[in-house]
């Protein structure tokens, strides 16, 4: 808790003895001396020049107050209004964190021992919520209490004023231009299209996906390497949707609009009321699933400005705000649990995507996340651990991407050191002492960091990543368009996880506008 200020003494203040100002009690050596009223005794005792100076000073102050301009008063009011937000920072006081091996992200099985919290434990849902959006129609018209979740100005703002530049490179001529300028190729674009085809073919009839891609009807589901996390259906569905959105495919336009529509409908109908918003947490997925679903909904809204998506997207953001650790500022598997860098990365990307669509994110939530990142960083912000300071490649990539979106400039020493570390580490590919393994989680975050940083570091990284993914993608039969690389995380997500991550890595040229090219941080994470 924040340190309390010392308390003031209690009781009435002590009496102070003062000289009487009654004219009758004041001694006088001259009986004929005129009596001076006590209200003007000061003026009687002061020299005339000082009295004149005081009168003029008072007049000047009065004139200044009378002519005080309206803009100036409004400016002071803004400062006064902002003051409480600054004071709220005292809510975040970092308690001692129990050290955990920073390599746990890469070498241990994640998520298995973490139960999904009972919604009864999240009973502070002070905002009314709809019953599972059961009345959703095919065009995603949702019977939801929009007025309770959506910023009211978004309901009346013209469409054109809501267009976001952050996703403006995902389609059309602009996409082709960015592919060419940033180092993509015809092969990388062809690989994206093949991956989308494989993912779409493994959507289930209810609009969902399963990490065990062999579940469901049809003989084409016989590809090997199914994922183990079969209960994380929300997470699998969101992860499968993200490559479509990254390629400019939405529920309103594109070759796969029906695929995206069915996936969004599934998510909306599976959002549960909790924490003043709506949660997607589930067994084997918990806050990972929620972060992924938030990104999918907020990106879909930011790209289309479909007002039917405002309520579920804002509700997902509200739950992230509720679930943040009020002490350390992070997120983990359960609400208000001390955070880890991996979960924090997905929640921050969800908040960032929400801000792309002008949804509401409390500034103090962003400040809390900064406090968490400080608690796990070292080397001046150039490397990051899991729940304590460290230098794991995967968590360093996550931490650096968060820092970029939180406003660190390209010449910040932490960014420079971190990019140098990632560059020297290189992409995680099969070969050498890795065998046939590849950490696609690390590759996904690190590729974004290097793309935003640009320059020769990006050119080197891209050359080592792009052609390897294109060449290693399956080309024949029911496997065509997919990837699978054995790894701890890959074993849980299986071929669907690997394919979605590989596809998004090859969409990096246009999926988000480069941060240091258009100062996206100033627009997307205003503090």
Which of 501, 494, 503, 478 lies closest to 232, judged by CA?
494
User: Which residues are CB-neighbours of 358 under 8 A, at least 6 positions away?
Assistant: 151, 154, 162, 164
Q: How high is the pLDDT of residue 154?
A: 57
- Return the C-alpha torsion angle 83, 86, 91, 96, nearest 10: -160
Q: Classify the phi-psi angles of 264: left when phi > 0, otherwise alpha if psi is within -120 to 50, otherwise beta.
A: alpha
Q: How high is the pLDDT of residue 256?
A: 98
CA 188 to chain centre: 28
For tokens 């001076």, the residue is 36
**CATH architecture of the domain with residue range 135-524:** Alpha/alpha barrel (1.50)
Q: How high is the pLDDT of residue 53?
A: 73
> Residue 395 forms beta bridges with which residues?
none
DSSP 479: G
Distance between CA atoms of 66 and 52, rounded to whole angstroms? 21
Q: List the pLDDT tens digit at each of the 527 positions of the chain.
A: 333 333 333 333 333 333 333 333 333 444 344 444 444 444 445 566 666 777 677 766 665 554 444 443 443 343 334 433 433 434 444 333 333 333 344 444 443 334 444 433 343 333 333 333 333 333 444 444 334 665 555 555 443 334 445 666 787 788 999 999 999 999 999 999 999 999 999 999 999 999 999 999 999 999 999 999 999 999 999 999 999 999 999 999 999 999 999 999 999 999 999 999 999 999 999 999 999 999 999 999 999 999 999 999 999 999 999 999 999 999 999 999 999 999 999 999 999 999 988 999 999 999 999 999 999 999 999 999 999 999 999 999 999 999 999 999 999 999 999 999 999 999 999 987 778 899 999 999 999 999 999 999 999 999 999 999 999 999 999 999 999 999 987 889 999 999 999 999 999 999 988 888 644 444 444 44
Q: Which residues of 77-103 are buried (b: 16+ CB within 10 A; e: fewer)?
A: eeeeeeeeeeeebeebeeeebeeeebb
87-90 contacts at long range (C-beta below 8 A, 24 or more positions apart):
88/364, 89/364, 89/367, 90/2
Q: How high is the pLDDT of residue 433?
A: 74
In this structure, are residues 117 and 334 in contact, taking their beta carbons and an 8 Å threshold? yes
Distance between CA atoms of 361 and 114, rounded to whole angstroms? 27
Which of 429, 420, 425 lies closest to 379, judged by CA?
420
Would you call 485 helix, strand, or coil by DSSP?
coil
CA 316 to chain centre: 11
Which of 359, 348, 249 lies closest to 303, judged by CA?
249
In this structure, are residues 189 and 171 in contact, taking their beta carbons and an 8 Å threshold? no
374 φ, ψ to 5°? Answer: -60, -35
Distance between CA atoms of 326 and 472, rounded to whole angstroms? 44
Would you call 277 helix, strand, or coil by DSSP?
strand
277 φ, ψ to 5°? Answer: -160, -140
Distance between CA atoms of 436 and 197, rounded to whole angstroms? 25
CA 262 to chain centre: 25
Q: How high is the pLDDT of residue 45?
A: 52
CA 453 to chain centre: 19
Q: Which residues of 478-487 are buried (b: 16+ CB within 10 A; e: fewer)?
A: bbebbbbbeb
């Amino acid at each position: 808790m924040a340190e309390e200020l010392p308390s003031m003494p209690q009781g009435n203040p002590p009496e102070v003895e003062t000289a009487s100002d009654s004219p009758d009690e004041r001694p006088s050596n001259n009986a004929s001396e005129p009596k001076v009223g006590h209200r003007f005794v000061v003026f009687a005792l002061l020299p005339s020049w000082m009295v004149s100076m005081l009168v003029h000073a008072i007049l000047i102050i009065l004139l200044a107050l009378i002519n005080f301009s309206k803009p100036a008063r409004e400016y002071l009011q803004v400062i006064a209004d902002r003051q409480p937000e600054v004071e709220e920072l005292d809510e975040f006081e970092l308690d001692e964190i129990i050290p955990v091996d920073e390599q746990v992200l890469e070498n241990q099985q994640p998520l298995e021992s973490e139960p999904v919290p009972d919604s009864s434990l999240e009973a502070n849902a002070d905002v009314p919520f709809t019953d599972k959006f059961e009345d959703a129609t095919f065009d995603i018209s949702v019977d939801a209490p929009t007025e309770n979740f959506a910023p009211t100005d978004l309901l009346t703002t013209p469409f054109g004023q809501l267009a976001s530049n952050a996703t403006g490179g995902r389609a059309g001529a602009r996409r082709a231009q960015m592919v060419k300028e940033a180092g993509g190729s015809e092969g990388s674009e062809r690989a994206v299209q093949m991956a989308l085809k494989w993912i779409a073919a493994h959507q289930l009839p209810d609009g969902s996906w399963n990490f065990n891609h062999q579940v469901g009807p049809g003989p084409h589901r016989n590809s090997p390497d199914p994922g183990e996390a079969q209960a994380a259906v929300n997470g699998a569905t969101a992860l499968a949707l993200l490559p479509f959105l990254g390629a400019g495919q939405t529920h309103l336009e594109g070759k796969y609009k029906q695929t995206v529509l069915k996936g969004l409908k599934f998510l909306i109908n599976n959002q549960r009321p909790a924490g003043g918003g709506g949660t997607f947490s589930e067994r084997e997925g918990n806050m990972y699933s929620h972060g992924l679903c938030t990104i999918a909904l907020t990106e879909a809204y930011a790209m289309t400005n479909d007002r039917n998506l405002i309520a579920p997207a804002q509700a997902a953001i509200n739950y992230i705000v509720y679930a943040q650790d009020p002490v350390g500022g992070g997120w983990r598997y359960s609400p208000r649990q001390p955070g880890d860098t991996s979960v924090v990365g997905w929640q921050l990307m969800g908040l960032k995507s929400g801000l792309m669509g002008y949804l509401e994110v409390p500034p103090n939530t962003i400040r809390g996340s900064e406090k968490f990142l400080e608690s796990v960083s070292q080397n001046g912000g150039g490397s990051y651990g899991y729940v304590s300071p460290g230098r794991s490649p995967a968590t360093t990539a996550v931490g650096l991407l968060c820092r970029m979106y939180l406003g660190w400039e390209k010449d910040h020493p932490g960014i420079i050191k971190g990019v140098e570390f990632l560059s020297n580490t290189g992409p995680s590919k099969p070969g050498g002492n890795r065998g046939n393994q590849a950490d696609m989680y690390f590759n996904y975050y690190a590729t974004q960091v290097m793309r935003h940083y640009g320059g020769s570091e990006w050119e080197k990284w891209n050359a080592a990543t792009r052609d390897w993914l294109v060449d290693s993608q399956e080309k024949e039969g029911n496997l065509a368009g997919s990837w699978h690389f054995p790894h701890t995380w890959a074993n849980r997500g299986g071929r669907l996880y690997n394919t979605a991550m590989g596809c998004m890595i090859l969409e990096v040229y246009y999926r988000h506008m480069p941060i240091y090219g258009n100062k996206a941080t100033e627009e997307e994470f205003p503090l």
